[in-house]
Amino acid sequence: MSEAPPSTKRKRVGPDPSEVVLNPDSPPTRSKIWMPYGDIILQAESTQFRLNRDVLSRQSSVFRDMFSIPQPPNEPTIEGCPIVHVSDTAKDWELFLGMLYDPFQCGDALSSDLVAALLRLGRKYEMENSKKNALWRIHYEFPTTLESWTEVEVGTTKIESQRGFLVKSLVLAYENGIFTSIPTIGFCCLRDRQLEEILTDELWSHDGTPVILPDHLKLILAVAAERIANFQRDLYEWLEEDAVIPDDTCTTNAECIKERNVLRRILNFGDNSRRYHSLSSWDSPCEGEDWSDGLCEPCALAGRTAFDLNRVQFWEALPGFFGLAPWAELKDLD
């Protein structure tokens, strides 16, 4: 049942010669998840978890099949429990088992690290409920329709946003073939972070560890940023001239033209809050803001109408910025 090679462990001197201690250079540590009536020891990296095989079998067909096979005699144990070594991170298992054994600690929104653990372990060990829960949350946060995007922007969230969350989500989506969420994840990365800090590995996770993006994803983001800039330049040509603002019935031309120029700079170059606003809402692009402010009523209506049309056009073009198929053809790996 153990996946570790024999050379990484030795027998402990004591009453039970089958008890195991790992190499003293990397002694195992006991996690907080140590069930006194557990009948299996699961070890990830140098962390050990004592749990009930029935609980794990109920979630995973892989473990269910494994536990159905009789174990050879004289297999090493800890406190009478056989050991299963897994090649995953201890952090993923700590998060997963924490949710499994203490579900009421979890709110409506789960941490991004927990969602990633649910997806990785769910796929690897055929835990369908775990995988489906993670995919549902990712698809909710990063949808495939503009209507759903708008709801998420102003509504509740299913994944707690933590520092480094977006870039790590992009890596997770590519690794697991969640192609339908990549356009919005990639857009959010470019919208909320500086491209330079992404390319030069200057991003940090909430736990203080660096967030390193693989080189091929850096290239995808760099190309997407250039494509977005070119697309927006053409999209907002109406802000360069008087075709929309000022409106024919405008009575405050000078003031409205001034506000139009401010809007042109924001939509083309961003502001202190976001690099891109092409998928923002006209009424509330950021908290406490309204692009109608400073415009007369006819100009505000004309500007909103033009922007809403541009917003739809930008959404339809979004997958192509990242080298993906159009929305209607975009599919996940499974």
Of 98-107, 114-123, 279-288, 320-329, the least confident:
279-288
Q: What domains, with CATH codes, occur in the chain?
A: 6-102 (3.30.710), 232-321 (no CATH)
pLDDT at 2 over 70: no
Q: What is the pLDDT of residues 207-248, one digit of tens each?
A: 888 899 999 999 999 999 999 999 999 999 999 999 999 999
Mean pLDDT of 35-62: 95
pLDDT at 140 over 60: yes
Pick from 87, 77, 85, 86: which is nearest to 21 by CA? 77
- Residues counted in the chain: 334
pLDDT at 11 over 90: no
321 CB-near residues (< 8 Å, 6+ apart): 183, 186, 187, 224, 227, 228, 231
Q: What is the pTM of this model?
A: 0.86
Between these two residues, 270 and 189, which has the higher pLDDT value? Answer: 189
How many angstroms separate the CA atoms of 248 and 296, rounded? 12
Report whether 57 contacts 63 (CB < 8 A).
yes
Percent of the chain surpassing pLDDT 90: 71
Report whether 121 contacts 63 (CB < 8 A).
no
> What SS3 class is residue 227?
helix
Confidence category of residue 19, pLDDT binned at 50, 70, 90: very low
Q: What is the pLDDT of residues 177-212, one digit of tens each?
A: 999 999 999 999 999 999 999 999 888 888 888 899
Mean pLDDT of 112-136: 96
N-to-C CA span, the chain: 30
Instruction: Report which secondary-structure segment, H or E, holds 30.
Output: strand 29-34
Pick from 168, 193, 42: which is nearest to 115 by CA? 168
Between these two residues, 15 and 43, which has the higher pLDDT value? Answer: 43
Helix axes 253-269, 215-235, angle to 10 degrees: 160
How many angstroms separate the CA atoms of 95 and 114, rounded? 6
pLDDT at 83 over 90: yes
Of 15-24, 157-166, 316-325, the least confident:
15-24
Report whether 88 contacts 120 (CB < 8 A).
yes
221 CA to centre of own chain: 16
Report whether 218 contacts 199 (CB < 8 A).
yes
Centre a 10 Å sphere on the Cβ of residue 45 and count the other Cβ atoms it contains. 17
pLDDT of residue 12: 32
pLDDT of residue 137: 96
Report whether 123 contacts 131 (CB < 8 A).
yes
pLDDT of residue 288: 54
